[in-house]
Structure 1
Amino acid sequence: MHLLAREVRSLDEDAVAEDLGHAPADIVFLSFSDSDLLSLRAAVDAGAAGDATVRITCLSRLLHPMSIDLYVADTLMHSRCIVVRLLGGMEYWRYGVEELSRACRDASIPLALVAGDARPDPRLAALSTIPATALDHLDALLRAGGPRNMAAAVRLMAGLARQDDGGEDADTGTDTPPPETLPPAGLLRAADPALPLRAGVVFYRSHLLAGDIAPILALSDTLARHGIGADLFYVASLKDQTCAAMVRDWLTDTPPDVIVNVTFFSARGEATDISALDTADVPVIQALQPGVTQAAWRDSTRGLSQADLAMQVVLPELDGRLPGAPISFKEETAPGLPARHVPYPPGLETVAARAEGWARLAHLSPAARRVAIVLSDYPGAQRDGAGDGQAGHAVGLDSFASLSAILTLLRAEGYDTGHDTLPDSATLAHLLARAPATPFMTLARYEALLATLPREARDALSACWRTPAEDPSVVDGALCLRHLTLGHVTMALQPDRGSKLDRKSGYHDPDTPPRHAYVAFYLWLRHGVRADAMVHLGTHGTLEWLPGKAAAPSAQCWPTLLAGGMPVLYPFIVNNPGEAATARRRLGAVTIGHMTPPVMAAGHGDGRTAELERLIDEYAAADGLDRRRGAILRGEILQRAGDLGLLDESGQRPDEDEDEALARLDAYLCDVKDLQIRDGLHVFGRPPPHAHALAQTIARACGADTPPDIATRLHDCGAAEARGLLRGLDGHMVPPGPSGAPTRGRADVLPTGRNLFSMDPRAIPTRSAVVLAQRAADLLLEGHLQDEGDHLSSIVIDLWGSSSLRTGGEDLALALLLMGTRPVWDSGSGRVRGIEVIPMAVLDRPRVDVTLRISGLFRDAFAGQIALFEQAVQAIAERDEDPALNPLAHGVRGLTGAARLRATARIFGAAPGCYGTGMEEMLARDGWDGRDDLGRAWLAGSAWTYGGAREGTRDDDALQRRIRAADVMLHVQDHAEIDILESTDIAAHAGGMAAAAASLGRTPRILHGDTSRPETPRLRATAQEVARVVRGRLTNPAWLAGMRRHGYRGAAEIARGVAALHAFAATVPARFDRQFDLVFAAIVNDADMDRFLATANPDAHAAIRHRMAQAQRQDLWRPHSNSAAMLLDPDA
């Protein structure tokens, strides 16, 4: 039996290795917590150590194993007493604990390892070298904190050091009095009763004991300037049951209007799914204290490190807290001394303004509240300034029917919606999508309000958009847009954030400020309408995508600048956790999850395919019994299928015999028939129709874990959504709830109507994601070997942020497994702590050279996963293996320095702060001349490298090398609630890769992964998937009937599908003539459908005809019938 050596690498190895160069001391104290370091330093400065020398070191500088080894050897092994306090427990510094314990035992040096919280860790006690009594007493003193206890702790450490030196007066704690304790929680200062509003401010007891509460006091002062008196309440931990009880008593006795929380993590314990802060039933704003300097934060587009993002944003979101802004930064008070929190006035102002906005709601009656409801105007195809029919776009939501439902709801609850009969959805669509724009603010008023913005913002506006009078929305001295006011409810279509000629590219532009009309609109909502709350209806608008940080915004970030302190309620589709997180973190929004559209099986919408299936069944019955009849049927089936284009769609090969072709056709027809498609759109606040069919779909995905009340949960979605919106407008807390795709088995997201949260990114990829990804990897590798006759050598994977959150990182796990690596998890927390290289003898196949093209959202949210994949790349690149088995290592062998860094680049994406692929606007406006034009745009927009020392470095040559080398390009769709023709965005990514390869003279296999049923993943050629969706959904009478029920928005969805087909035809090197023919027959040349489109949404009607005519002109479609060319105006 042979034992195989397995190489495991920790993420800590990616930290910077440094030699601190510290001289030894009698006492060395190490902790991650600045509060510990500050408190101990104060005790030492007060003389508690006597003659003993003391060194205080922050563990965050000792993460890399090499740093630890150097410090142990050069500093700790020559010291006399070592104390390590570990916030988070042993797993946060495992290598250091194990190495230090071994060394101290060997050298007989007193070592105390204590936990950083109240939970004892027997492993730390076992690895310590001092007596148990001394260890327990030292732990108690450090936990109690405060000047006297810290002085006693230092004296105890000094005694241990003297004992090591043979001193007879060593104090081991046996005769020391017990710690003097400050209560674990309590009120530091009560609110000023003269102020009209009240806030509860919750902060850490340890900060109080360390004298590090300047930001808390500054927050109290800032809140007071906003008319809010603040109770300052300290806690050791919100998870501690004693503290939690004291917090509940405090909030019950003096209920606040809003809570500002300055503690980290989630407060929900294992034994309860509620937090003590829930007692008040008010919004909880999470104030941020980044663990970096202000300068480091200012230079970051992400805003927070992965650890700060997890502890201060992601985990608090589990409790329903609303991310705020930084109220302080870490700054060194003197060289070599621990850093203190220094208040950040602009962030304090942001938090206070938001607190005031939420606190005021509960003091207003519904009739007095002014509500603004904003609908997005998603950028689609523009035709010489004509509309695109996409006004009010919201993923999966009929926004105008939802607006009508919300108006009805508000009127029933006593909101002032005027005295007239409320308009129906068709009227609202006309008024907000097609009626002329009307004035909303005079130019003079806007210029006065503009003067209140920071000079930096005004200068940026002027540099980009010149004077306000030059904005195209200005007519006769006033700014105009489509809007409607009913009583105290104002509804409007969100203005274009940039030029009408470049709407798509400007949607996520990180550098260009919004134009004057856009700025004026939000200033009008705040100062003209004086809205008490804003409802942004549906996924998603542009406000949260304006230039600014991904999290922890500055006062100059445009989303913060424009929204101000206005409470934002954002109905958001429940299956999109990534973009919902962006809205929460950039706007401080309550993202109220709404249900996805109902789904149904596609069936055979075309009677001819149904007849084919009947003939196949007849053939199966005749086969073996009546061979002559079977042969006749087989020939007829194949003839009909060929005429319908189904043989090509099914992937028939030239050398296949008739039986193989028939089997492939049968499988394809079943694949189309089983396709899950939408049955209309969701209406916010209404229960999903056909709930029984949807419940069955979810139950099949859940399997044995199906909740017995799934049908009830579905029925309750409508009422829960309405309740969530009303609770938010009432100034109450909207309970938190998970996000995910219901049809992928996520029954826990039901009922909807809760404030969405997502998972801790540090746990990605999860163990279950790796298990499921292994199935996809096996399918991909075996299929490639079977189809190509050789092992897969190189692949490019399109990796998105939202899908990573939905699946727990299945796509990233797939990439790691293909390379022959797998994640390693922390046994206690489940977080990923590194990677393991699978030995070749176990892998039993060649490693695949994997390149990732990451989305902007993935880049912003998953810094740790980028580091993890980079670590895997470097580990594989360093292995000495047969070149045929390790193409990555073979390609970089012998290279050093900068050349090796460039050669190992395997993570590419858009420039820092940018989103998309760089070709979206070209697709929207037909601004391209041939597929190569689009490919070059994709290459130019994807050429920034990430990972290691490459944080956003442009390298066009490196990307082109990876594209040229690729055998396969893969995009994965992880749920059935959307499909490949959902929008042109998927074509810009998946098709963009294909166009990029074509522009470089390469034709790799372009694959579409389907993991909507993760236990049985499917791989199809992207062109085949497009054909399947065109036949099964886009031209399916059942789907079209569902869209017709939704009028304007249904017509818009049809137009989006046609635009997506055109985008794939433009990018993927395959012909889609048959698919365009099907669209023409079902949508353009059908008299009833044509009338519906022309009546419900004339712009969408024109956009569809424009796309079809363009496809002809660009030779993307050669119509089967001459009637198409005659019917479509070539100049449309």
Structure 2
Amino acid sequence: MHILTTTSASLDDLAEPIDLRQTPADVVALSFTDSDLAGLAAAWKTDAERLPSMRLAGLRDLRHPMSVDLWIDSVARHAKVILVRILGGYDWWRYGCDQLAAVARERGISLVLLPGESHDEDQRLIEASTLPRAELDALLGYFREGGPANMGALVKRLARLAGSDAVVAEPVSVPKAGYYQPGLGVVERPNLSEVGDPSHPPLSYRTSPPQGGRSAVAGPGASSANSTTELSAASAISESIGDSAISPLGGEMSGRTEGGVTDLDADNLGSPIIPILFYRSMLLAADVAPIDALAEALHSAGLTPVPIFVSSLKDPTSLSFVETALTTLNPAAIVTATAFASGAEPGAETLFDRAGVPVFQVIVATTRREVWEKNQRGLAPADLAMHVVLPELDGRILAGAISFKGEVETDPALAFRAFANRPELNRVEQVAKRIAAFIRLQRTGRAGRKLAILIPDYPSAPGRTGYAVGLDVPSSVLAMLQYLKEQGYAVDGIPQSPRGLLDALGVGGHGLTLKDYLAFSAELPEAARDAMEAAWGSVNDEAHVNAPPSVLPDISPARGEISSSSAPLAPTTVGFGESRNESTISPLAGEMSGRTEGGVQAPTSTHFPFRAATFGNVTVALAPDRGRSADRRADYHDPTLPPRHELIAFGLWLQKLLGVHAIVHVGAHGTLEWLPGKTVALSGTCFPEIVTGSLPIIYPFIVSNPGEAAQAKRRISAVTLGHLPPPLTGAGLDEAQQKLERLVDEYAQADGLDRRRRDRLAKLIVETAQKTGLAAEAGVAGADAPDEALRRIDAWLCDLKDFAVKDGLHVYG
């Protein structure tokens, strides 16, 4: 056999000419999906000595017309049977379909062209095939049911078409949906005490799994699990563990809450149940390693995973099964590895809406791992659309990618390179931590929840610290603090005014010592630490000790309007006996002077002082600058500039020392979602993840800017809550414009009644407009005729008077 050609791959997924260099065989099969090809390969190898020769190839390698021509000349024209399963139908491989149809009719080849979606019918594929409709339907039936037994029967049926005397079996029905348990396969009901337990090795890790390496879908107990008895049993199991404690994540330090994911047993409510929805096709292809790994990680995080396979969330049978299962299991959250949106009509209630719990989207990517690792975009366009963009329509929280495609083996007998889903264990662990952090927030009583409210510090005009697009941030934060207190959160010392809030942030007293920073940052990826030091130097450099903080502005308590006055600098003490300047803010006239509102602590010795104030269990803070103070605007969105040590220290302070349960980022927009790293499907070296860890992030965001809100959803897994823009009002006219309008009105009244008065008014209008500079604004040129000038001025005044402008700023809630 020839050595197989290794094809290149990129996120752009461009079609390039490729010669697969395969040799002829009696039966050839093509498909876009790796699960189809893997199933056919496994089925052929179980009985290879008695079956005709076979070749397999992925259609992704045959998208270029030249690739198709080379393969047809070297392989297809010599075959007896050709089977092609085309995801997307005829239009997705039009050239290949046409060429194979011509060759098959010329050489008497049995050509089978099947749709990738088993429920769809493509008349053009039927017409291009050379077999009767009944035979095509029978062959498609094996794919509909799937699984090792049906793939074995399909291979034998293809062998029979090629002239073999193989015994043909009809497709065997396999449940559309059901429970899956790692180590056992399809089960009648889940054993909630063992799912994900490492002591029970999953199928994907066992050396001798049932059915020759395939999931046990056709063995004893492989029936559908949708009966009332089975679900009642599952409920009983759930109740039996209701008082069990939740263990902390493995590897976390005891005695301290780190990363917002430990101490899940705070309220001792039992181990939370987390259903994992995934595609039945993964199970039938024995390609469930990502699900097994996620179940184990969730179990290690003190959660109870319950994997459920479905053919599709649009399939009525699957949907009914999941609905019943969710009602019985009463889950704390749902994890889904299914792609696309739920398919409900706009405004209609979906399966996830009815569940009433957080829904996390995990990505089982078709992108090759090596491509993901090297490319900053993270995912190929198809994965981005299927697993990120469309699921956002359901309001799912993007938890991250858990697996990528990896080459399993190269089989010379089939001239086939097999690919399968390979879990990325570091990413699986991060996803489990993120889900556990949400559950920790959910199960901690309101009085015990610790929150960090972040105020944005967008680099805009001087004196606008705390500004967000269309939102009065200080007033909104005060409203949030008051509401949280009313709802039972431990909040005290709420400032009486926006001025008081910003004064409190400027006093200081919060920070991270160098010792703690060095200890915490030692756990960060080496590549991230190296990037920061290359950009900013060592954390011990003098620049970090003496870097001045941003100066907070004066802010009017009326509607949050901001002025540009700054305050004098006062000395405070930092670590190592050195002094630095810290800004203090004097209150506006009429505000309380002589003391700072909010119960702020006195300054303490820190290496990284933060602008923050604590009000009970809620800390309000301004994040440090991510870059140079002289180039704040340029650095704010720089996708290549690593953040300063100060910003990393701030994130570690929130995660490690404060031990907050969640972050509330008030307004659009901050810098966290714009830090360097992958666009989506982040890795452990991406700075958005390093700064925020696995903390839940709630992000009120102006509803008119969904594009930038998507950044927060996809890069820091934020739950974005849309808020209204400020109300609109008419711009109106100022004094000079009103005077000009009165002259225009008089001109209109004089027109047709008093010609001489009309002409005098026309001249006066033009002269007045020129003297006040309004003529230039109205687009009146000096050479314009009087009538044209009057027309322009009148139109401009009408437009200006009716022009809609924002009336102040919106206050959230």
> TM class by shorter-chain length?
0.7 to 0.9
Question: What is residue 581 of structure 2 aligned with on the other side?
Answer: none
What does residue 34 of structure 1 align with?
34
Q: Distance in 1 between matches of 2:497 and 2:90?
A: 61
Note the C-alpha offset of 1:407: 1.0
Query: Rg larger in 1 or in 2?
Result: 2
d(CA) in 1 for partners of 2:685, 2:628: 22
Q: Distance in 2 between matches of 1:527 and 1:599?
A: 44
Distance, in Å, in 2 between the alignment partners of 1:580 and 1:95 is 40
Is residue 367 of structure 1 aligned with residue 447 of structure 2? yes
Counterpart in the other structure of 1:675: 803
Per-residue Cα deviation, 1:686-730 (whole angstroms, up to 9, x for no partner): xxxxxxxxxxxxxxxxxxxxxxxxxxxxxxxxxxxxxxxxxxxxx
2:305 is the alignment partner of 1:177: no
Distance 1:57 1:201, change over 3 A: same
Aligned to 1:63: 63
Partner SS state of residue 333, structure 1: strand
Q: What pairs up with 1:827-906 in 2 under 5 angstroms?
A: none
SS of the aligned residue for 2:156 comes to helix
**Would you say 1:404 and 2:532 are equivalent positions?**
no
- Over 3 Å counting, the alpha-carbon distance change for 1:666 and 1:20 in structure 2 is farther
Q: Which residue of 2 aligns with 1:276?
A: 351
Residue 524 (1) aligns with residue 653 (2): yes
What is the one-letter code of the residue matched to 2:42? A
Q: Tell me, in whole angstroms, the C-alpha distance in 1 between the residues paired with 2:102 and 2:353.
A: 46
In structure 2, the partner of 1:464 is 535
Identify which range, 666-675 or 247-256, moves more after superposition.
666-675
Can you give the 5+ residue segments of structure 2 that lack an aligned partner in the other structure?
Answer: 1-10, 183-189, 194-240, 247-270, 411-415, 550-572, 576-604
Partner of 2:515: 444
CA–CA separation in structure 2 for the residues paired with 1:365 and 1:449:
28
Shift in Å, 1:680: 0.9
Q: State the alpha-carbon separation in 2 of the partners of residues 209 and 272 from structure 1.
A: 34
* Aligned residue number for residue 583 of structure 1: 712
Q: Distance in 2 between matches of 1:12 and 1:105?
A: 36
Equivalences for residues 913-932 of structure 1 within 5 A: none
Deviation at 1:484, TM superposition (A): 1.3
Classify the secondary structure of the residue corresponding to 1:327. strand
Which letter maps to 1:511? Answer: T
Deviation at 1:21, TM superposition (A): 3.8
- How does 1:741-752 map onto structure 2 within 5 Å? none
Distance in 2 separating the partners of 1:635 and 1:50: 104
Match for residue 635 of structure 1 among 763, 772, 775: 763
CA contact (8 A) 2:115 2:122 kept: no
Distance 1:275 1:35 in 2: 29
Q: Distance in 1 between matches of 2:55 and 2:745?
A: 83
- Tell me, yes or no, if structure 1 residue 47 matches structure 2 residue 64: no
Counterpart CA distance in 2 for 1:18 and 1:666 is 68
- Residue 496 of structure 2 corresponds to 423
Would the alpha carbon gap of residues 48 and 271 (structure 1) be closer, same or farther in structure 2, given more than 3 Å must change?
farther
Which amino acid is 1:222 matched to? A
Partner of 2:158: 157
Quote the Cα distance in structure 2 between the aligned partners of 1:69 and 1:626: 87
Q: Is the 8 A contact 1:12 1:63 kept in 2?
A: no
Give me the whole-angstrom Cα distance separating, in 1, the residues matched to 2:649 and 2:12: 48
Q: Which amino acid is the alignment partner of residue 705 of structure 2? A: N
- Who is 1:735 aligned against? none
Q: Which residue of 2 aligns with 1:392?
A: 466
User: Could you tell me which of 327, 336, 342 is aligned with 1:267?
Assistant: 342
2:526: which partner in 1? 455
Q: Deviations over 1:652-692 (max 9, x none)?
A: 3454322222222222222322322101111111xxxxxxx
Q: 1:99 deviation in Å?
A: 4.7
How well do the aligned residues superpose, as a CA RMSD in angstroms?
2.5
Q: In the alignment, is the contact (CA less than 8 A) between 1:204 and 1:237 conserved in 2? A: yes
Residue 106 (structure 1) shift: 5.4
Q: Tell me the number of residue pairs that the alignment of Structure 1 and Structure 2 aligns.
A: 657
Aligned with residue 320 of structure 1, among 391, 395, 400: 395
1:647 corresponds to 2:647 = no
The counterpart of 1:286, out of the listed 342, 356, 361, is 361
Question: 2 CA distance for matches of 1:255 and 1:48?
Answer: 48
For the residues of structure 1 that align with 2:630 and 2:51, how far apart are their CA atoms? 75
Structure 2 CA distance for aligned equivalents of residues 421 and 548 of structure 1? 37
What SS class does the counterpart of residue 134 from structure 2 fall into?
helix
> Partner residue of 1:816?
none
The answer as to whether partners of 2:12 and 2:380 remain within 8 angstroms in 1 is no
1:422 Cα deviation after fit: 5.1
1:112–1:625 CA distance, 2 compared to 1 (3 A): farther
Q: 1:177 to 1:14 in 2, by over 3 A?
A: closer
Distance 2:427 2:53 in 1: 40
Question: CA 1:644/1:421 → structure 2, altered by over 3 Å: closer, same or farther?
Answer: same
Change (3 A) 1:271 1:615: closer
1:67-89 CA-partner distances (Å, limit 9, x unpaired): 34444455433322222223344
Distance 1:625 1:113, change over 3 A: farther
Aligned-pair CA distance for 1:271 = 9.2
Number of the residue aligned with 1:1082: none
| Segment of structure 1 superposing worse, 268-277 or 253-262 | 268-277
Distance in 1 (alpha carbons) for counterparts of 2:49 and 2:160: 9
Secondary structure of residue in 2 paired with 1:362: helix
TM-score, length basis structure 2: 0.76
User: How high is the TM-score relative to the length of structure 1?
Assistant: 0.56
Judging changes above 3 Å, is the alpha-carbon distance between structure 1 residues 563 and 75 closer, same or farther for their aligned structure 2 residues? Answer: same
Find 1:329's aligned residue among 404, 408, 411. 404
Alignment partner, residue 235 of structure 1: 310
Aligned: 1:501 with 2:600: no
Distance 2:66 2:748 in 1: 68
The separation in 1 between residues aligned to 2:742 and 2:66, in whole angstroms, is 70
For 2:518, what is the secondary structure of its paired residue?
helix
Q: CA deviation at 1:30?
A: 1.6
Distance 1:212 1:451, change over 3 A: same
Looking at structure 1, the residues matched to 350 and 103 of structure 2 have their Cα atoms a distance apart, in angstroms, of 42
In structure 2, give the amino acid aligned to 1:179.
Answer: V
Show the 5 A alignment for 1:980-1059.
none
SS in 2 for 1:290: strand
Which deviations, in whole Å up to 9, do the C-alpha atoms of 1:348-383 show, x marking residues without a partner?
1110110110111221111111111101111235xx
Moved over 4 A (4+): 11-14, 105-108
Work out which of the residue numbers 482, 485, 488 in structure 1 matches 2:617: 488
Provide the rounded CA distance (Å) in 2 between the counterparts of 1:66 and 1:404: 66
Q: Structure 1 pair 26/182, CA: closer, same or farther in 2 (3 Å)?
A: farther
**Structure 1 Cα separation of the partners of residues 715 and 360 of structure 2:** 13
Structure 2 counterpart of 1:3: none
Contact 2:369 2:405 in 1 (8 A): yes
1:557 aligns with 2:686: yes
The residue type equivalent to 1:414 in the other structure is G
Q: How is 1:124-273 mapped onto 2 (pairs within 5 angstroms)?
A: 124-162=125-163, 176-189=169-182, 190=190, 191-192=192-193, 195=246, 196-270=271-345, 273=348
Counterpart amino acid of 2:724? M
Q: Shift of the alpha carbon at 1:446?
A: 2.1
Are 2:109 and 1:117 aligned? no
SS of 2:149's partner is helix
Aligned to 2:198: none
Distance 1:81 1:345 in 2: 41
SS at match of 1:548: coil
Give the number of the structure whose residues are more often helix, by fraction: 1
Give distance in 1, aligned partners of 2:766 and 2:739. Answer: 13
Moved more, 284-293 or 548-557: 284-293
2:574 maps to amino acid: V
Bigger Cα displacement from structure 2, 551-560 vs 494-503: 494-503
Summarize the Cα distance change of 1:376–1:279 in structure 2 as closer, same or farther, 3 Å threshold: same
How far did 1:197 drift? 3.2
Deviation of 1:633 after TM superposition, in Å, equals 1.9
Any idea what SS the aligned residue of 1:463 has?
Answer: helix
The answer (yes or no) to whether the contact 2:176–2:317 under 8 Å persists in 1 is: no
Q: Is structure 2 residue 635 aligned with structure 1 residue 512?
A: no
The counterpart of 1:338, out of the listed 409, 418, 421, is: 418
CA contact (8 A) 2:688 2:716 kept: yes
Shift of 1:147: 0.9
